[in-house]
Chains A and B, each alone.
Chain A
Amino acid sequence: MTILSLKLPTLLTLKARLEQAAAFLYRHRDRVRGFLLGTRSHYGLIFTVVVYALLVAIGFVYLYPLLFMLVTSLKSPTDLLNPMVQWVPTELYFGNYVRAFRVLDYPRTLLNSVIVSTVPSVIQVIACSIVAYGLARYSFPGKRLLFVLILATFIIPPQNTVIPQMLTYRRLGLLGRIWSLVLPALGGQGFRSAIFILIFYQTFLALPKVLEEAARLDGASDLRVFLQIAVPAALPAYIVSIIFSIVWYWNETYLTVIFLEGGIQTLPMQLSKFVQAYQNLYPPGTVNIFDRLNEAIKLAGTFLNILPLLVMYFVLQRWFVESVERTGIAGE
């Protein structure tokens, strides 16, 4: 429409302008090609746009479950029933969170989860670092076998060892108590201990030996060399390992359910019993339709479950994302 209303002279000037521009581009065709396709020193525009488009698209797909969870958990019961409401709720409704908070018994289970994930993690990391130091700094017969066994502890499925452990703990009265997680961690058999041993092994190998040998010449014992020279130098590896260990212990539910059930109740454990716990608090039949359990309440519970981890992740992101380069987990 607009083109038709343009006067003829304007069209002619437009054509001239376009020709001028084409000629300009033609004269500088090498630079244009460089700009679009990239040169040795920088990426081209087309390439950059394609990469960003892909990253944004994949990033969206990646975050889709989280966005879905967040949006759905904020929907009121009427919004849930309304097929028109897909992504934008008509109002911000926090009722689901209030209920999920009560059903999860949030303050208590949160505290339990923090304890259950922090204490074994710290112990596991300390134990693993000691073992790794022995492997990295000393040569002794059977070292290769030890490495094979460490790898084996990584591969053996927990199902193959969990039942006798559980029965033993029951006999000793440790079932349902944190000891059932702490003891294996202390012996370097905690959740994914093998990974941490390998991380520390790489870290200690990369540290210069000179300082330790100097200290030894000055008469320091091996234990003292480890504690006063190796440990401080490997501090980043400790921080990264403890963070990862906490996350993995937090999210681990197979072992925690078997070892802690009936005793300590963690947040993920409570989440897996959400329906039952909800019906204890709000018995079906006695409550009105707005209190009935729906997916929004469940997803609010799920979100409350991952919220502490999300906060931790965004506060400590640098340690998470740069961790692998720092610790050389990739191995050689």
Chain B
Amino acid sequence: MKAKASARPRFSLRYRTRQALQGYGFVALWIVGFVLFTLTPLVETFRYSLNKVIVSATGIEQTFIAWQNYTHALFTDPTFVELLIEYAVETVVSVPIILIFSMIIALFLNLKLPFRGLFRTVFFLPVVITSGPVIRELVSQGATSVPQVASSPVVLSFLEQLPRVLRGPVEYLLTSFILILWFSGVQILIYLASLQKIDRSIYEAAAIDGASAWEAFWKITLPSLSTANVVVAIYTVITLSHFSENKIVRYIYAQTYDIKGGIGYASAMSFLYFATLALILLLIYVVLRPRGGRTG
């Protein structure tokens, strides 16, 4: 097409315009949807966050109070900041675990072993059934911690030894270990797909040059997964953050209908939450971004 364009510039201009118009025709639906259902509500929520909002039967009353909702959330409300930190820590702890776990499972399932289809079915099952109310029931019955580990006296006394900063994350790990693993279903599939895209002949060439399987993993497999790492990490963070049983999501939801809080306050907290989420994503991108000359 490029060659044609340089040969007949006038045609190419018309062709290009036509292309662009047709293209806009296809994406127009999305643009309208984006403006109506994402952009407008987002701006509106931001306006709420700068106001004290009272919803009555007749309509919505707003009084402009500038950044007071934000300062209140950050400096006066002890629960919010605590939950925000807890959320950030839990997410940052969960992501590497999910990444490593799903990568290991994907490596196993990528082997040509009998019954691997069965294991795939098992490891993907949670994706299908994980919903807020189901998880809430399972957690409240204590079905999501590793059996007999979280409540054993050895572990409890070990926990008491830990400094306070470490104790929260470790406790979270022990009580919701299965839950963390349950969020690995899609990630395993993403890794599997990337593993299957690696050219077999690279491994053969490496083996002929005398590389062991161990070396092949570090020098071939792992670098090939760098794009998948970013995709998996972002997917994981978003899934964890949007999950309806997330404590901070529940807190914001509760505040929306609270008389003291209200819509304005909930909106301000939503934006602070969004900012934290964006920071975590940025951090993960900086750590995991594919490096070097290789492009995926």
Contacts and interface: CB of A to CB of B under 8 A. Distances in A.
B274 A156 contact: yes
A149 B34 contact: yes
B155 to A, nearest CB: 16
Which bucket holds chain B's interface residue count? 35 or more
Contacts of A252: 131, 244
B266 A330 contact: no
Contacts of B217: none
A172 to B, nearest CB: 12
B144 interface: yes
A321 B189 contact: yes
Given A131-B26, A140-B20, A254 B244 contact: yes
A163 B263 contact: yes
Interface stretch (B90-98, B132-140, B164-172): B132-140
B40 interface: yes
Interface of A: 40, 43, 48, 51-52, 54-55, 58-59, 61-66, 68-69, 72, 127, 130-131, 133-135, 137-141, 143, 146, 149-150, 152-165, 167-168, 183-184, 186-189, 197, 222, 226, 247, 250-254, 268-269, 271-272, 274, 295, 298-299, 301-302, 305-306, 309-310, 312-313, 317, 320-321, 323-325, 328-332
Interface of A is mostly: helix
23 contacts: A54-B108, A58-B181, A64-B143, A66-B129, A127-B33, A134-B25, A140-B23, A160-B42, A161-B45, A163-B266, A168-B41, A187-B30, A188-B33, A247-B127, A247-B128, A251-B129, A272-B136, A305-B131, A310-B129, A321-B124, A329-B189, A329-B193, A331-B227
B38 interface: yes
B296 interface: yes
- Among A58, A62, A184, A328, chain B packs the most CB atoms within 10 A around the CB of A62
Given A159-B253, A163-B266, A253-B244, A59 B26 contact: no
Contacts of B274: 156-157, 160
4 interchain residue pairs of minimum CB distance: A187-B33, A134-B26, A138-B23, A251-B131
Contacts, number: 259
B48 A163 contact: yes
A133 B207 CA distance: 42
B133 A305 contact: yes
A146 B29 CA distance: 12
Given A253-B131, A332-B296, A153 B34 contact: yes
B85 interface: no
Given A133-B26, A329-B190, A330-B193, A159 B133 contact: no
Contact of A59 (B122, B130, B134): B122
Contacts of B151: none
Nearest to A307: B129
Nearest to B197: A330
Contacts of B48: 163-164
Given A64-B178, A65-B144, A155 B277 contact: yes
Given A163-B48, A164-B41, A325-B196, A268 B108 contact: no
